[in-house]
Amino acid sequence: MSLLERIDADFMREFKAKNAAAVSTLRLLKAALKNEAIEKMKPLEEAEAVAVVKRELKKLKDGLDSFVAGKRDDLAAQARQEVALLEQYLPPELGEAEIRAAVDKVVVEMGAVTQKDFGKVMGQVMKATGPSADGAKVSAAVKAALAGK
């Protein structure tokens, strides 16, 4: 079952169960996915759908940080539920060791790299790991690898 089909099925299940919080979150996700498909003028592929879910998840996490900083515990609790709901649609993330291995492999393939090559290395690692790697973790691993050179 594709990601889009899974989201549709979960939306219908939560709608029938009258789970308003989950329905609201999934409705926003479905709207973001539909808008992306309209923008691209073609149905979304799996990787594109995962990218949209990641983008929406990042928005929710940024909002959660704001709610926590503003001591709005009620809104923070709601945002945590929404984050947990959307995280189940992402592929399992790579661990630190797997990310370091991918970074090391790219650095070896590229040969002599310096801090100036950060963007090139980062792009190659993200391409190699796909949607299963967190960009912040990859960035930290690339910086550490380039600092060690």
Q: Which two tokens stand for residue 107?
A: 């650095």
Q: Which two tokens stand for residue 131?
A: 């949607």
Structural domain boundaries, residue 61: 3-87
Residue 107 sits in the same domain as residue 74 = no
Q: Express each pLDDT in 97-135 by its tens digit.
A: 999 999 989 888 888 778 888 888 898 998 888 778 888
Q: What is the mean pLDDT of the chain?
A: 91
Residue 80 sits in the same domain as residue 100 = no
Indicate whether 77 pLDDT > 80.
yes
User: How many Cβ atoms sit within 10 Å of the Cβ of residue 72?
Assistant: 14
- Helices vs strands, H then E, count in the chain: 7, 0
Where among 87, 104, 127 does a domain terminate? 87
User: How far is the C-alpha of 40 from the C-alpha of 36, rounded, in Å?
Assistant: 6
Mean pLDDT value across residues 61-89: 94
State if pTM tops 0.95.
no
